[in-house]
Amino acid sequence: MDMKRHYYEDVQLFTSGVIVFWFGAFIVFLALFPFVVKNYYVYVANYMAINVIVVIGLNLLVGYTGQISLGHAGFFAIGAYGTVVLMSKASFPFIVALPAAALVAALFGFLLGLPALRLEGPYLAIATLGFGLTITQIIGRIEFFGGRQGLHTPELTIGPWHLDTDIDFYYLLITLTVLLAVAARNLIKTRVGRAFIAIRDADIAAETMGVNLVMYKTLAFAVSAFYAGIAGGLYAFVLRFIEPEIFTLLMSIMFLAMVIVGGLGSIMGSIAGACLLSWMDLQLRNILSIPYVGLWLEALSQSYFSITGISNIQYIVFGLILVLIMLFEPLGIFGIWIRTKKYWKTWPF
Amino acid sequence: MLDFMQMIASGIAVGSTYALMGIAMVIIYKTSEVPNFAQGEMALISSFFAFMLLDQYGLPYHLAFAAALIFSILLGFFLEFSILRRAKEPNVLGLIVITIGIEMILLGLVSWKFGADPKSMPFPISPWESFAIGNVFVSQLEMLTLVVALIIMVILFVFLRYSKLGVAMKATQQNHIAARIMGIRTNRIMMITWGISSFVGCVAGLLIAPTTMQPFMMWDPLLKGFAAAVMGGMTSLPGAVVAAYLLGIIENLFGGYVSIEFKSAVAFAIIVLVLCIKPSGLFARHYIKKV
């Protein structure tokens, strides 16, 4: 039943009517979401949507092309600073500034992709990590970019509309997220996506089959950086204020963690992983207010640990998640989903 | 000229801690091909263990430091046995993710227990009193760091080259199935490797702790040590050491003559440049993958 008989079946965006139905239902849900929940949850949804964009982009690089990046906070920062600077200093409209900043990020992605052509494994990890750290250091030292004080994000206007509440911004953000997610899925189904996957599975074999490694590896970096740049530009409007200390190595690690938790090489997995970890991130920031567990942790902290450091439990939680996922379910949420599906399909057996 | 010598001297002093961290990473990478991002936090938790013994239980220095070193070895054993060995055929990305996970757990534990504010580590030698060699001022702690680093390097070099265990480690690295057939217990070798590496990291941590003591103190030495290890080729101990001292010196010279602000960014620029020219580091033979 999963057999493909025609090339078109391999490249089509929706493989069955059921998927079209669920996709439509999901879109309706997203459209109605702000009307039924409190304002805080709209903010949470915005935060999630931004992470979803970055994580989809990072998954194109890590999950589909098989490269490692520990520097995505750098691209994220370029997007955020690019958008804000273009809007406030060069008075570009938002519609132009956001893609322009993302293209700058993509250019940096292309440049980082060049040394990455010759590097793999730990070498690539340290090179991308160094890039991420260097970018924020440089931005933090240049007065034009606000230096250590940071920059205030200007008002967000698109044509005649003023987007000044979380709900207005939510619609912009969700539209972009859905578009970018569909675009990523589409990309994977094309010639380019197949080249990415071939490079991941065996780069030398791919090269002998005629895949241009130079072009597709740098392209993967550029596309991934473009996604991070868009997300960064939007993140500036969620925070309304940006400073270099936001874009740390820890942020790059969190992006990678979201990819891993969601599942390598899966767009749906990326969405799930990004939503889950962003939700946990926001919840763990005020850990004491979680019912039952909060009280128990408070008692534990007072007797064995310190109460001032209790917010650092989030590191332990995320670290445990990373280790356990890698040990027991290397494909993350996507892997669990695949297994459940298989189980029910063949059920009594 | 005086400034120049002074910068070289401080570069060498900083380079010693980078070198220790770099060596610790190389030892693990050589035997098990794990790029160990948790190295810094393993050293961190051991140093805070020493701090706790000194500060809360009032142990004398030699006991506390010895306990911390033993703790670090046991920690290395434990991490290898309980986590790394359980990973089934992981790829490089998987190993990086696992070690980052361990790093975050250890970091969380330390900062939960001790809070994020800086502490002052009691230490037998003052980190601020310095003496002059010619016209160059070197603090006592810097001198101690350099001497300890050199002693550890020599011991490790001799140990890895001439002892039975060192040869077994090399065999495990080259072909662990063949090593196993020859009667080497590769699992045990891995554990010992992690123990040794954790020990070296702990020494670095104890030497860094008197100047800065807070949960993020090991990030910079770890990243620079890792950078040096990568620059030296990831599998070569002398390579990592030379690269670490080079990094320390270049960083200080750059800070002194060009711009103090971009001092720590320059290390990574150098790494990227070196890797562009020699993709597997300065001191490793280029390994070509056969299909």
Give the SS3 label for residue A272: helix
pLDDT in tens, A245-269: 888 888 999 999 999 999 988 899 9
Residue type, A75: F
User: Between B140-162 and B164-174, two packed helices, what is the crossing angle to 10 degrees?
Assistant: 70
Contact B116 A68 (CB under 8 A): no
Contact A313 B272 (CB under 8 A): no
3-state helix, strand, coil in chain A (%, to 5): 75, 0, 20
Task: Specify the residue for token string 């967000």.
Answer: A156
Cβ(A158)–Cβ(A164) under 8 Å? no
| Residues A30, B282: Cα–Cα separation, whole Å | 53
pLDDT in tens, A94-143: 889 999 999 999 999 999 888 888 887 888 888 898 888 888 888 888 87
Buried b / exposed e along B9-40 (16+ C-beta atoms within 10 A): bbbbbbbbbbbbbbbbbbbbbbbbebbbbbbb
| Residue count of chain B | 291
Tell whether A320 is within 8 A of chain B (Cβ).
yes
**Of A312, A314, A249, A286, nearest in space to B111 by CA:** A312
Residues of A in contact with B55 (CB under 8 A): none
Tell whether A138 is within 8 A of chain B (Cβ).
yes
Pairing of strands A241-242, A151-152: antiparallel
Residues of B in contact with A306 (CB under 8 A): 112-115
How close, in Å, is residue A160 to chain B by CA atoms? 43
| Residues A151, A244: Cα–Cα separation, whole Å | 10
Contact B97 A326 (CB under 8 A): yes
pLDDT in tens, A115-128: 888 887 888 888 89
Does residue A148 surpass a pLDDT of 80?
no
Cβ(A279)–Cβ(A261) under 8 Å? no
Of the candidates A126, A249, A309, the beta carbon closest to that of B271 is on A126
Tell whether B112 is within 8 A of chain A (Cβ).
yes
- Domain assignment of residue B192, given as a range: 2-218
Of the candidates A66, A127, A320, the beta carbon closest to that of B271 is on A127
Contact B92 A121 (CB under 8 A): yes
| Residue count of chain A | 349
Cβ(A123)–Cβ(B278) under 8 Å? no
The answer for B 4-43 residues in CB contact with A (under 8 A) is 29, 35
ipTM over 0.90: no
pTM for this prediction: 0.91
Contact B268 A133 (CB under 8 A): yes
Task: Specify the residue for token string 């961190």.
Answer: B44
| Residues B95, A126: Cα–Cα separation, whole Å | 14
Contact B94 A326 (CB under 8 A): yes
Quote the mean pLDDT of chain B.
Answer: 86
Residue A67 CB partners (closer than 8 Å, separation 6+): A61, A116, A124, A217, A220, A221
Contact B268 A131 (CB under 8 A): yes
User: Between B140-162 and B186-208, two packed helices, what is the crossing angle to 10 degrees?
Assistant: 170
Give the SS3 label for residue A257: helix
Radius of gyration of chain A from Cα atoms? 21
| Residues B230, B275: Cα–Cα separation, whole Å | 8
Supply the DSSP string of chain B, one letter for each residue. Answer: -HHHHHHHHHHHHHHHHHHHHHHHHHHHHHHH----TTHHHHHHHHHHHHHHHHHHS---HHHHHHHHHHHHHHHHHHHHHHTGGGS-S--HHHHHHHHHHHHHHHHHHHHHHH-SS------SS-SS-EEEETTEEEEHHHHHHHHHHHHHHHHHHHHHHHSHHHHHHHHHHH-HHHHHHTT--HHHHHHHHHHHHHHHHHHHHHHHTTT--STTTTHHHHHHHHHHHHHHTSS-HHHHHHHHHHHHHHHHHHHHHT-STTHHHHHHHHHHHHHHHSTT-SSSPPPPPP-
| Residues B90, A177: Cα–Cα separation, whole Å | 32
**Of B239, B272, B248, B291, nearest in space to B29 by CA:** B239
Contact B272 A127 (CB under 8 A): yes
Tell whether A309 is within 8 A of chain B (Cβ).
yes
Other C-beta atoms lying within 10 Å of the C-beta of residue A254? 22
- Among chain B residues, CA nearest to A126: B227
Tens of pLDDT, residue by residue, chain B (291 residues): 667 888 888 888 889 999 999 999 999 988 888 889 999 999 999 999 999 998 888 888 889 999 999 999 999 999 999 998 888 777 888 899 999 999 999 999 998 888 878 888 888 777 777 777 777 788 888 888 889 989 999 999 899 889 998 889 888 888 888 888 998 898 899 999 999 999 999 999 999 888 888 888 888 888 889 889 888 888 888 888 999 999 999 988 888 887 777 777 788 888 878 887 877 777 766 555 555
pLDDT in tens, A4-62: 788 777 777 777 888 889 999 999 999 898 888 888 899 999 999 999 999 999 999 99
Number of domains in chain B: 1
pLDDT (0 to 100) of residue B105: 94
| Residues A223, A192: Cα–Cα separation, whole Å | 11
Residue B63 CB partners (closer than 8 Å, separation 6+): B53
| Residues A216, A222: Cα–Cα separation, whole Å | 10
At CA A147, angle to CA A141 and CA A149, rounded to 5?
145
pLDDT in tens, B234-267: 888 888 899 999 999 998 888 888 777 777 778 8
pLDDT in tens, A269-278: 999 999 999 9
Phi, psi torsion values for A297, nearest 5 degrees: -65, -35
Cβ(A254)–Cβ(A278) under 8 Å? no
| Residues A336, B35: Cα–Cα separation, whole Å | 28
Rounded mean pLDDT of A299-316? Answer: 80
Cβ(B83)–Cβ(B98) under 8 Å? yes
Residue B113 CA to its chain's centroid (Å): 23
Of the candidates A204, A256, A314, the beta carbon closest to that of B97 is on A256
The DSSP bridge partners found for residue A242 are A151
In a domain, B27, yes or no: yes
How close, in Å, is residue B17 to chain A by CA atoms? 18
User: Between A94-116 and A122-141, two packed helices, what is the crossing angle to 10 degrees?
Assistant: 140
| Residues B78, B87: Cα–Cα separation, whole Å | 14
Most B CBs within 10 Å, among A70, A134, A252, to test the B interface: A134
- Among chain A residues, CA nearest to B261: A141
Supply the DSSP string of A121-164, one letter for each residue. Answer: THHHHHHHHHHHHHHHHHHHH-GGGTGGG-EEPPP-EETTEE--
pLDDT in tens, A190-235: 899 999 999 999 888 998 988 999 999 999 999 999 999 999 999 9
A225's enclosing H/E stretch is helix A213-239
The CA-atom distances, in angstroms, between A80 and each of A77, A113, A225, A244 are 5, 21, 12, 10
